Amino acid sequence: MDRELTCVECPMGCAILVTIRDGEIVSIGGNNCARGKLYAQNEVFTPKRVVTSTVKLEGGGMLPVKTDRPVDKDKIFEVMAVINSLIVAAPVKVGEVVASDVCGANIISAKEVL
Amino acid sequence: MKNYDIIIIGGGPAGLAAAISAYDNGSRDILILEREPVLGGILNQCIHNGFGLTRFKESLTGPEYAYRFVEEVRSRGIEYMCDTTVLEVSTDKQVTAINSTKGVFSLSAKAIILAMGCRERSRGALNIAGARPAGIYSAGTAQKYVNILGQMPGKRVVILGSGDIGLIMARRMTLEGAKVLAVCEIMPHSSGLKRNIVQCLDDYGIPLYLSHTIVKIEGKDRVSGVYIAQVDEKRRPIEGTEKYFECDTVLFSVGLIPENELSKGAGVSLSPATKGPIVYDDRETSVSGIFACGNVLHVHDLVDFVSEEAEIAGVSASNYAMGKGADRRVVSTTCGNNVSYVLPQMLDTNASGMVKLYFRVNKVLPNPTIRLTSNGEDIVVKKKKIAVPGEMESIVLTPAKLQSISGDVVVSVEE
Ligand code: SF4
């Protein structure tokens, strides 16, 4: 069984062909870089995605956030449930952890609010 | 009237990068004028990631990408004014603007950089049958509602057009609990990036209907449903192919168009192909001392390329303001087979550095040969795996190649 994938790691969107024999990857081709290889390896067995969203700021407004690493694709809505339960108080820096260890990742701020 | 060396209209990614490069080229007397309350432009509402891979070798969200440039602007002490709308730019480089503290005021500059970005096309929304109930938004407006204001525009959504913002919003609204029923694209191919089809639609099981359009919107006060139908090669709906979706929201994502009201007022010549100013390779427009960069010039796929282009404009404007004029030997660039536009439209073959020509193809071309010729002579020939209209292509010309150009150049792409 072979898998044809589109790498989502960057806008190039390389078409990657993964050759699988007896449940194991025997070759990966078409990727332009190492990022794409890692993506293809994950995508075949445990697809992962970075989740980006917003959380409420105390006193109004929204703070953009993201997971600091990709989480299992089937955990995305679990991550969203945590994100939507958060309220963050300013000041907050870019990269500051606003919730730790959510499905194996930290939720970090993507914006500075003074 | 206060005079500046350089006034930059727009504090989005193009304006910020232009300001930084002008400063680093030696200019100090720079002012950025921004309509919104904060710098960063549209990046502030683009909370998804994928920005900056070319430039920073990491995947940033829009606000993070903007932050890096805003910090650079702040650390250099470059002056900026937010909440300020520019009303007019004149050919002799006077700028009329308005804000709530100063009222209407005028400034003048030695050089001006136009960096107003683009706006969403609304064309697709106009010729659909039915009333105009609430619940119809452009994808970018919906993005602002969700990401900046924290409000969901609706619960059951149909999206017309497969532009990237529409695809991104399909995922965004799904994550926030809405049901996205369909994305309809009138063309037989998507206009968005393949990766966005995968990670925004396929990941969430959202169907993409190619060669389909919305033929009727139902609802009195609020949208209650839409009919979509398949279209033929001439984009006419085919009878009997209608499908009904019960929904409360329709989003339009039918493309972007450079925002050039101010440029027109300044007497800058626009290109019918890009809808942006006609420029030299240093991004000077047809009006001496007025430069343009970013999406006001042509709609870019990647913000990384916007920054790159803005740096060219920043340096050129800075040189102009310092009286360092270029002695140009100009040829024009034109579209050959299968090419919809080439930018810059005017090329200085005396340029001392590398010049990058950007262009787009007008249809999907597998295994294309890209050819740049001048007076029938090949200057650059290169092969690719595929060329698609949604992805900008480029050719780099070295000073030696530039010197070998004997007349107007033609860029063509053949299968
Ligand atoms: S393989 Fe590398 S270059 Fe290709 S899409 Fe993935 S990250 Fe981008």
Do the beta carbons of residue B365 and residue B387 sit within 8 Å? yes
Do domains B122-254 and B328-415 share one topology? The answer is no
CA pair distance B336, B361, nearest whole angstrom: 10
CA pair distance B45, B11, nearest whole angstrom: 14
What pLDDT, on the 0 to 100 scale, is given for residue B123? 59
* B291 closest CA partner among B323, B307, B313: B313
Q: Which residues of A touch B194 (CB under 8 A)?
A: 6, 13
* A61 closest CA partner among B150, B348, B371: B150
Nearest CA to ligand 1 atom 8: A10
Contacts with A, B 131-190, CB within 8 Å: 146-150, 175-176
Residue B14: Cβ within 10 Å count: 33
Report the first-to-last Cα separation within chain A, whole angstroms: 53
DSSP 8-state class, residue B237: B
A111 vs B203: CB contact, 8 Å cut-off? no
Q: Which residues of B touch A56 (CB under 8 A)?
A: 150
A50 vs B59: CB contact, 8 Å cut-off? yes
B149 vs A62: CB contact, 8 Å cut-off? yes
Beta strands of A24-81 (E only): which ranges? 24-29, 48-49, 52-57, 62-67, 71-72
Overall pTM surpassing 0.90 (yes/no): yes
- Burial (CB count <10 Å: 0-12, 13-18, 19+), residue A42: middle
What pLDDT, on the 0 to 100 scale, is given for residue B126? 60
What pLDDT, on the 0 to 100 scale, is given for residue B410? 94
| Closest residue, chain B, to A4 (C-alpha) | B198
Q: Which residues of B touch A110 (CB under 8 A)?
A: 47, 60-61, 63-64
Angle at B102 between CA B98 and CA B108, to 5 degrees: 65
Q: Which residues of B touch A9 (CB under 8 A)?
A: 53, 59, 195
Place of tokens 């209407």: B104
CATH of domain B1-120+255-325: 3.50.50.60
- Which CATH number, 1.10.357, 2.60.40, 3.40.1350, 3.40.50, labels domain B328-415? 2.60.40
pLDDT in tens, A24-78: 889 999 998 888 999 999 999 899 999 999 999 998 999 999 999 999 999 999 9
> In a structure prediction context, what are the per-residue pLDDT tens digits for chain B, which is 415 residues long?
899 999 999 999 999 999 999 999 999 999 999 999 999 999 999 999 989 988 898 889 999 999 999 999 999 999 999 999 999 999 999 999 999 999 999 999 999 999 999 999 875 556 677 777 899 999 999 999 999 999 999 999 999 999 899 999 999 999 999 999 999 999 998 888 888 999 999 999 999 999 999 999 999 899 999 999 999 999 999 999 999 999 999 999 988 999 999 999 999 999 999 999 999 999 999 999 999 999 999 999 889 999 999 999 999 999 999 998 767 889 999 999 999 999 999 999 988 889 999 999 988 888 899 999 998 889 999 998 888 887 889 999 999 999 999 899 999 999 8
**CA A33 – ligand 1 centroid, Å:** 6
Query: According to the CATH classification, is domain B122-254 in 3.40.50.970?
Result: no
Q: A interface toward B at CB cutoff 8 Å?
A: 6-11, 13, 49-54, 56, 61-62, 64, 66, 73, 76-77, 80, 84, 94, 110-112
- Which of A76, A84, A94 lies at the smallest CB-CB distance from B67? A94
Domain ranges of chain B: 1-120+255-325, 122-254, 328-415
Contacts with A, B 79-98, CB within 8 Å: none
